[in-house]
Amino acid sequence: MPGQPHGHELVIRPLNGPDELPLFRTLSYTLDHELADDLAGGLRRPEWMWVALRGDRVLARAAWWAPAPGGAPYTLDFFDLDDSLPEPERGETGVRLLETAMARLFPAGSERPEYGRFVPPDWRTDPVARDVVEARMRAVERTGARLLVERLRLEWTPGAAAAAVPGGRLAFRAVRDREDLVSLMTLVAEGTLDAHTRASMESGLTPREVAEEQYDEELVRYRSPDGWWRIAELPDGDPVGFVLPARNNYNAVIAYIGVLPGHRGRGYIDEILAEGTRILAGLDVPRIRASTDVGNVPMARAFERAGYTNFERSVNMVWD
């Protein structure tokens, strides 16, 4: 590769143990502060954390994360390059790192976890940020992945100015059981603008199967009680939608929010989101996080009206 120091071959390997975390942190990313706790809690393992080294210099790194201890790698959420390297060395190093690590972690023909990266909200107009983001995306693409969606990352903090929310049209009740919620999630999947849900259905899953998978593999894993979840109804008991306030491993979140197809376009989303925000705000949390696809303009506008700010974006890439 051009520009490489003489006398040192490129070495690609996983970390030998948690004591090599300082080596891994030679490169930086916004989630670095979570690494030590994730390792201690079993959400990461040293064998899932890889580096590309020339001598003692880290040229690239990658790491996978699981939502619960003992689980399989769920997402590739760290992939960084030494941006002082010239091209094509920077990109080639990243590709070699990913291909070597994935060949070890995932058997041939098995599904590869999604790649996700948090990026600045203005990354497309900031030349430096754009170079960083696109360099990583190009390397991931060269291993066979494609962009699935870009998402807005949103945040509400106490004291945020929110528009007045019309009240009185909806009543809220707790979710009774799994079927109570899954049946509504199945209906919400119809005509959804959510790219992940649409991709799952395009792969052959029915709306019901998508809802069951999300419930069983995501929603029940939250650290918070499902007693926080709310279903919105009209005075006659007709369900309109739902909101799932929750707490993940890191923050209070609006885990899922939806309006049933027959009730969309009537402004109910504002009241439903206000209820979810109210529940979490009542717990004196320092912030509430949420996210929605860039293309889901109605949902993005609802969050904005409720006082949520777009503090970051994320890009999600998948291997077919």
Could you tell me which of 178, 177, 164, 198 has the C-alpha nearest to residue 267?
164
Determine how many CB atoms are found less than 10 A away from the CB of residue 310. 16
Position 163 scores a pLDDT of 55
What is the rounded CA–CA span in Å between residue 315 and residue 129?
13
| 149 vs 192 pLDDT, higher one | 149
The per-residue pLDDT of the chain, averaged, comes to 94
Using the predicted structure, report yes or no on whether residue 165 has a pLDDT greater than 70: no
Helices (H), the chain: 21-24, 35-41, 89-105, 127-142, 178-188, 195-202, 207-217, 268-281, 297-305
Give this prediction's pTM: 0.90
Element spanning 166, H or E: none
Which amino acid, one-letter code, is at 219?
L
DSSP 223: S
Using the predicted structure, report yes or no on whether residue 306 has a pLDDT greater than 90: yes
Position 4 scores a pLDDT of 46
What is the rounded CA–CA span in Å between residue 81 and residue 11?
15
Position 164 scores a pLDDT of 55
Q: What percent of the chain has pLDDT over 70?
A: 96
**What's the average model confidence in pLDDT over 239-251?**
96
What is the rounded CA–CA span in Å between residue 62 and residue 273?
36
**What's the average model confidence in pLDDT over 241-255?**
96
Using the predicted structure, report yes or no on whether residue 166 has a pLDDT greater than 60: no
Position 1 scores a pLDDT of 43
Ranking 31-40, 170-179, 188-197, 249-258 by mean pLDDT, the lowest is: 188-197
Using the predicted structure, report yes or no on whether residue 3 has a pLDDT greater than 50: no
Q: What is the pLDDT of residues 107-158, one digit of tens each?
A: 988 999 999 999 999 999 999 999 999 999 999 999 999 999 999 999 999 9
What is the rounded CA–CA span in Å between residue 259 and residue 240?
6
Per DSSP bridges, beta strands 75-81 and 49-54 are unpaired
253, 254, 256, 259 alpha-carbon torsion, rounded to 10°:
180
Residue-wise burial string across 7-41, b where 16 or more C-beta atoms lie within 10 A, e elsewhere: eeebebebbeeeeebebbeebebeeeebbeebbee
Position 218 scores a pLDDT of 92
Using the predicted structure, report yes or no on whether residue 31 has a pLDDT greater than 50: yes
SS3 state of residue 280? helix
